[in-house]
Structure 1
Amino acid sequence: MFNGHFERIFSTMFLIISSLFVHIAFLVSVVDIYFKSPIVHNIKPQSSPLEAPARRLVLIVADGLRADSFLGADDLFKTNASHLRHVIEEREAWGVSHTRVPTESRPGYVTLIAGLYEDPSAIAKGWKDSPVEFDSVFNESRYTWSWGSPDILPMFAKGASGNHVYIDMYGSAVEDYSGRRSTTRFDTWVFRKVEEFLNRGKTDAVLN
C-alpha cells in the first residue's frame, strides 16, 4: 500500500520536473534562435569605385504606412494616393524592406537606414536605443540633417564620428498616441522644419 503511494508521488514529481525541463528547453531555444545580434564587428571598411548615383539622399518615412498599401489594387488608394502610386510604377526604383518585431517603430528605422535587424539587446533600453553601436547611411554620409521623433533620431546620431549628424526633434512631452489628439501635428512640425531648412539653403553658402 505504501509502495503504491510512493510510486504515485514519484510519478507526479517526475511529470512536474519533466514538464518544467521541457518548458525551460523551449524558452532557451527561442532565445538562442531569435535573440542573436545581427551586427558583425571588426569588418574592414569597404568603398565602391563606382560613382554615386546621386549627390544627396532624401528619406521620408511615414510611420505605419505598410507596403501592401502601395502594392494592392485598392480603388481607394488609387484615388487618394495616385501620385505616390505613379512614382512607384513609372519613375523610380523601389523595394520592400522587411523588419522584425518587437521594435520601437513600425517601419523599422534601423532596418531602413542601417540595413540590418534591430539588435535584440535593445529590449533592455525599451527599444528606444541600441546599446550596440552600428554603422548606417547617416553615420557614413558627409553630412546628415534629420527631423523627427526623440525616440528614433538619437540612436543614429550616437557614435557618429565628427560633427556631421545634426538632429532636430519635437519634444517628447507632446507625444500622445492615445487618439485624443491628431498625430498629423508631428508631420506638420517636420514639414515646417524642412521648409525652413531649404529656404535657408538658398542663401547659406555651406548648405549649397
Structure 2
Amino acid sequence: MLLFFTLGLLIHFVFFASIFDIYFTSPLVHGMTPQFTPLPPPARRLVLFVADGLRADALYELDENGNSRAPFIRNIIMHEGSWGISHTRVPTESRPGHVALIAGFYEDVSAVAKGWKENPVEFDSLFNESKYTWSWGSPDILPMFAKGASGDHVYTYSYDAKREDFGAQDATKLDTWVFDNVKDFFHHARNNQSLFSKINEEKIVFFLHLLGIDTNGHAHRPSSRDYKHNIKKVDDGVKEIVSMFNHFYGNDGKTTFIFTSDHGMTDWGSHGAGHPSETLTPLVTWGAGIKYPQRVSAQQFDDAFLKEWRLENWKRLDVNQGILPVDYLNNTDLFKAESMFTNAVQILEQFKVKMTQKKEVTLPFLFTPFNCAGS
C-alpha cells in the first residue's frame, strides 16, 4: 500500500513539474547571428497606432443610419490601403498583445507573475532594431519596450498613471493627450536641429498607444455611447496625425501607417479569454510598401461579417497577430523573395542555437539529431 501511494505521489509530481517545464519556460533563444535583407525597404518610417481594447466589429460596422463611426479609416480601406482581421491569442490582455505586435512572439505564462512593467525574459523588438523610436501613451505599456532596448534610442512619453481611472467620465482625454503631444513634438522638432535630424533618419518608428477605448469599454461596455464616441474621436485624431506627417515630410511617400488593436472586449466589458469579441481585432495599413485596395466579387470567408460591414467587395486579408503576410506588401517579387529567405535563415539560426543548448544539457547517448539527408 505504501509503495502504491509513493508511486502515485511520484507520478503526480512528474505531471505537476511538466506543467512548469512546458508553460513556464521561455520560448526565446539568444545569441543568433542577425540576418538582414540586402534590398532597401520601401519606407523610411513607420507610424503605429494601437487602439487598446478595440473590437473589429466596433470599427468596421455601420451605425443605425448606415454611417461609419470611423469615416477616415473606412476611406483608407476603400481608397488607399489594405485591411483585415488580426486574430490574437489567449490571454487577450494588453501586455501579451503588444509584445506580439512589436516583438513578434507570444510571451510565456511566467510574464503574468512579473506584472506589467518587468520583462520576465529579455527579448528583441521592432523598437530595439530601429534607428530611433518615439512612443506616447500609457505608463503601463511603453516602459517594457524601452527597458529591453540596447543603447539610448527608444524614447517614451507617458501621462500620469492617475489619469488611468477606469471610472472616469471622459476617458477620451487619454487619447487626445497622445495626439496633442505628438503634434507638440513635431512643432518643437521644427525649431530643434538635433531632433529634426533624428526624425529624418531611416528606420524610424512612431508608436501611439491609445487607451481611451479600452477604458471606456471597461467602464461603460462596448455597446455604450461612450465607447462608440471614443472610436470617432480616435478616427479624428488619426486623421489629423496622418495629415501632419504627410505635411511635415513633404508627402515623400516614405511613411507606412498601421492601425490595429491589441485585443477586443466582451459585451459586458471584460477581456482575457478566447471569445471572438476578444480575439478579433482590426488591422488597417496603408502608405509606403502597402497594397492598394483590391476590388473583388467573391471572398473566401464564410462568416457574415463582410455583408454586415458592407465590405464584401474589398479584399479582406486576415492575419495572426504579430505577423504581416506577404499579401499586404506592394513590392517586387524579388523583394518579397529576399524577405522570406532572410526570415527563413533567421529561423534556422534560432534552430542552431536551440540545438546547441539542448545538446549541452542532454546525455550524449540520448541526443540523436534528426537526419534529413535522405529526405
TM-score range, shorter chain: 0.7 to 0.9
| Alignment pair present for 1:196 and 2:187 | no
Deviates more, 1:41-50 or 1:122-131: 122-131
Query: Of 78, 87, 90, which residue of structure 2 is paired with 1:101?
Result: 90
Distance 1:141 1:101 in 2: 28
2:102 aligns with: 113
Secondary structure, counterpart of 1:59 in structure 2: strand
Task: Look up the equivalent residue of 2:40 and give its one-letter code.
Answer: E
Give the TM-score normalised by the residue count of structure 1. 0.76
Distance 2:59 2:96 in 1: 14
When residues 102 and 129 of structure 1 are mapped into structure 2, their CA distance, relative to the original with a 3 A threshold, is farther
Query: Of 170, 179, 182, which residue of structure 1 is paired with 2:170?
Result: 182
How far did 1:176 drift?
0.9
When residues 140 and 78 of structure 1 are mapped into structure 2, their CA distance, relative to the original with a 3 A threshold, is farther
Task: Look up the equivalent residue of 1:51 and give its one-letter code.
Answer: P
Secondary structure, counterpart of 1:80 in structure 2: coil
Deviation string 1:159-185 (CA, Å, 9 cap, x unpaired) is 3222111111111122211x2432211
> After the TM superposition, which parts of structure 1 deviate over 6 Å for at least 4 consecutive aligned residues?
20-26
Secondary structure, counterpart of 2:156 in structure 1: strand
| Alignment pair present for 1:136 and 2:116 | no
**Is the CA contact (8 Å cut-off) linking 2:26 and 2:121 kept in structure 1?**
no
* Structure with more of its chain in strand, by fraction: 2
How far did 1:66 drift?
2.2
Distance 1:58 1:205 in 2: 22
Query: Of 54, 57, 62, which residue of structure 2 is paired with 1:75?
Result: 62
**Is the CA contact (8 Å cut-off) linking 1:64 and 1:107 kept in structure 2?**
no
Task: Look up the equivalent residue of 1:111 and give its one-letter code.
Answer: A
1:39 aligns with: 28
The answer to which structure, 1 or 2, has the higher relative contact order (CA under 8 A, 6+ apart) is 2
Q: Which runs of 5+ in 2 are unaligned?
A: 201-375
How far did 1:103 drift?
5.8
Task: Look up the equivalent residue of 1:114 and give its one-letter code.
Answer: A
Distance 2:85 2:121 in 1: 25
1:164 aligns with: 153
Task: Look up the equivalent residue of 2:88 and give its one-letter code.
Answer: T
Distance 2:77 2:23 in 1: 33
**Is the CA contact (8 Å cut-off) linking 1:103 and 1:118 kept in structure 2?**
no
Secondary structure, counterpart of 1:120 in structure 2: coil
Distance 1:27 1:85 in 2: 50
Distance 2:86 2:35 in 1: 23
Secondary structure, counterpart of 1:198 in structure 2: helix
Aligned length: 191
Task: Look up the equivalent residue of 1:115 and give its one-letter code.
Answer: G
